[in-house]
A and B are shown apart, each in its own frame.
Chain A
């Protein structure tokens, strides 16, 4: 691998945002194509971060700063990706459902998705169905990703799906769900398109739903 991309990978693993940004500049100056910097530098590093998390080497804080470093690099890369006509893998609207303030898991899922090249519109926590619908209308998203950590707020996922149906948007977006109490069976029962138990599998799920994997 190119030594600049190798250094970039290490910077992401260390969560060193400044250094990632410097190396993105260096890679661009060395005429490495933006698409290559994205997939072989940033995305590859985030995949490794996900693995380290699953193995219990990394914990939530380590993962959050790695993801932020990646995001810094991505920001710099964006205009070059646009110029080179590299499309995002897809647009995803994400949020924790109404009544629920747990956001750590949702944030990790967003960051891993972003690390895999998706564009994320994060609506935050305690998001009412109308907000999801409104965002789906305006953002032309491919996927709506919902998180719930409370048994009492899980039914709100169904409410979002119903609201999408009422707004005649259900056919145009995929819906994926997750969070500690959510299961595959529950996801099927509310008519979601998919469920993932953790952030890296959420990424794989989004890719497969959009025919990318």
Chain B
């Protein structure tokens, strides 16, 4: 079933906070443990589902899985997200070092596939997986500033990197669908700062190919201020757009076709982490009220919740979301 049909058939609003890291408070684990140990991560996600009863659950957001699998140097802090610190790609020839790699043999790729298998076997809500976006993976290969400049001056290099990224993301995404993912969400944060035209050429074009290759509900997530990208994001074939707190949601949804679902956008830091439960409740009610005229909306957070998000705030968000 399409996302829009599921959303409309759902009694009341669907409520889906983007949470993974705060679950470490429930399983008393570190982020690092969850990133390497599939059983651990599954238990963390299951604990969140058990506690908060969301309408869908995603595994942990980790922008370094595919990057590590193709051999980029990833650093793993104990209790923060892993990241790529050095960016070795400066020419098309530099991409050759990655071509021989079958990412499905990578340990952390297998970890996430296993998390999804366990989620599929145990959870009776919508199960979601994340993959990195092609432009964002190109940014991890080349460095974001170099990538930005290359979108104007070395377009062939950007296309070569994004093509390679797409070839890596598709088999991983397919494996996640085979493992039981009901939806795959592409994370494309690095595309926030390019023009709509550049988005279409360097990100949207490849995102479309990924969605076409995956037999599943495709969602596109971009953090930051993406007001200028709504139209080209809808053109990727995404069934849902998961967008961030800086956006005016009623204005955003007015630009979207009615069969594309808008997902968001309570501020993960200012409201969900630093606010009180009363503030979370007030902000959730306000958002629900603003979005009341639109059936194609899922109540969510603008981005992934930080590990230290108070659990009482997540509870307040769920409660306020259910009260409609």
Instruction: Kindly report which residue of chain A lies nearest to residue B225, judged by CB atoms.
Output: A180
**Contact A103–B144 (Cβ < 8 Å):** yes
Is B198 part of the contact surface with A, judged by Cβ < 8 Å?
Answer: yes
Is B148 part of the contact surface with A, judged by Cβ < 8 Å?
Answer: yes
Chain-B contact segment, one of A28-36, A58-66, A171-179, A203-211 = A58-66
C-alpha gap A61/B83 in the complex (Å): 23
C-alpha gap A151/B245 in the complex (Å): 15
Contact partners of B152 in chain A: CB under 8 A:
15, 61-62, 65
**Contact A65–B149 (Cβ < 8 Å):** yes
**Contact B269–A104 (Cβ < 8 Å):** no
**Contact A65–B153 (Cβ < 8 Å):** yes
**Contact A99–B149 (Cβ < 8 Å):** no
Which of A65, A104, A181 is most buried by chain B, counting CB atoms within 10 A of its CB? A104
**Contact B198–A61 (Cβ < 8 Å):** yes
Instruction: Kindly report which residue of chain A lies nearest to residue B246, judged by CB atoms.
Output: A180
CB of A198, distance to nearest CB on chain B (Å):
12
Contact partners of A60 in chain B: CB under 8 A:
148, 193-194
Q: How large is the interface on B (under 10, 10 to 19, 20 to 34, 35 or more residues)?
A: 20 to 34
C-alpha gap A64/B144 in the complex (Å): 11
- CB proximity to A under 8 Å, residues B196-236: 198, 224, 228
C-alpha gap A81/B153 in the complex (Å): 30
Contact partners of A101 in chain B: CB under 8 A:
83, 85
Instruction: Kindly report which residue of chain B lies nearest to residue A58, judged by CB atoms.
Output: B195
Contact partners of B269 in chain A: CB under 8 A:
151, 181
A-B contact pairs, 30 of them (CB 8 A): A15-B152, A56-B228, A59-B193, A59-B194, A59-B195, A60-B148, A60-B194, A61-B148, A61-B149, A61-B151, A61-B194, A61-B195, A61-B198, A62-B152, A62-B195, A64-B145, A65-B153, A68-B149, A99-B77, A99-B80, A101-B83, A103-B144, A103-B145, A104-B144, A104-B145, A151-B269, A151-B273, A151-B274, A152-B306, A180-B224
**Contact B306–A64 (Cβ < 8 Å):** no
C-alpha gap A60/B190 in the complex (Å): 11
**Chain A interfacial positions (CB closer than 8 Å to B):** 15, 56, 59-62, 64-65, 68, 99, 101, 103-104, 107, 126, 151-152, 180-181
- Sample of 13 more A-B contacts, CB < 8 Å, known A62-B195, A64-B145, A104-B144: A59-B195, A60-B148, A61-B148, A61-B152, A61-B193, A61-B195, A64-B148, A65-B149, A65-B152, A65-B153, A104-B148, A126-B85, A151-B269
C-alpha gap A56/B77 in the complex (Å): 36
Contact partners of B85 in chain A: CB under 8 A:
101, 126
CB of B187, distance to nearest CB on chain A (Å):
16
CB of B111, distance to nearest CB on chain A (Å):
23
CB of B251, distance to nearest CB on chain A (Å):
15
Contact partners of A62 in chain B: CB under 8 A:
152, 195
C-alpha gap A99/B269 in the complex (Å): 18
CB of B302, distance to nearest CB on chain A (Å):
12
C-alpha gap A180/B306 in the complex (Å): 16
C-alpha gap A180/B151 in the complex (Å): 24
